[in-house]
Amino acid sequence: MRVAVLSGKGGIGKTFVSTNLAASTRGSVYVDCDVEEPNGRLFLPCESAASKEVCIALPTFDPQSCTGCRACVDFCQFNALAFIGKTPRLFREVCHSCGGCRLICAVHAVGEQSVSVGSVEVGVSHGVQVVTGEMNVGEASGVPVICAALAEALRLHSELTVIDCPPGSACTVTESISAADYCLVVAEPTVFGVHDLGMVLRLIQTVGKPCGVVINKCNGAFPATELLCREHGVPILARIPYQKELAACISAGRLAVEESEEIWRIFTALKERIGGAV
């Protein structure tokens, strides 16, 4: 079973929920798809991890063979090419590596170069197989690194794969949930939290995945969150209390399921409810 953990607004508790969910099942896989700043490693540090580079293909243009027909420039759906002087000029950040310009060139003047955009690290920690995607600083898109991290994670066999998604509800999140069987949305009982919960529930509805909500940092009822879940027909599977001890545990980089009986029970019950829904 592959469970994607997402939230929209940052700081709600995606990593808290996903690392603890993974840690509560021996042999599970945890994959950190927040490739701009992966932080699962703080709670699941790996002693020896194997790292692989993630590369994308970018076009190269041979000025000797180029006839200046501009078929490549006209073809590019992303407008990543401009024809200046005698050859096409690539705007790297706009290129989506589709390979179309290379295919369309009648005189084979378009070649390919491989460029590193990040890395994927695989290791073991607290009985969990940990896969971490990390994007190189300055890259325009985290999507290629997320794809590579997910590919690595899906190669590992496990009863439970937890996908720690990036914040937001755009391309990187859509890519991260693409392979999931179930979406676990972490919500926060605040006005900002409710706003982003709505955005994320709409995204999940659009891609058509089953989902459930976990309300984190709960210290009493928050009607707006409950109402929104009811409106979307989405079940609230668990409520995690807002406790100083939990915050201290997190600040120290420790897993709450290993320190608190109550949290262990909450996550065990949560896992069962998700399993029942898939």
- Residues in the site for another protein, rule: CB under 8 A? 73, 76-85, 89, 91, 94
Strand 161-164 to 50-61 pairing: unpaired
Q: Which CB, 12 or 76, lies closer to another protein?
A: 76
Q: How far apart are CA 106 and CA 120, in angstroms?
A: 36
Q: Which CB, 80 or 266, lies closer to another protein?
A: 80
Q: Which CB, 69 or 124, lies closer to another protein?
A: 69
The answer to whether 35 touches 142, Cβ cutoff 8 Å, is yes
Q: How far apart are CA 261 and CA 259, in angstroms?
A: 7
The answer to whether 167 touches 61, Cβ cutoff 8 Å, is no
Q: Which CB, 96 or 102, lies closer to another protein?
A: 96
CB of 82 to another protein, least distance (A): 5
CB of 86 to another protein, least distance (A): 11
CB of 94 to another protein, least distance (A): 5
Helices then strands, counting H and E runs in the chain, come out as 9, 11
Strand blocks (E) in 86-147: 87-90, 110-125, 128-135
CB of 20 to another protein, least distance (A): 36
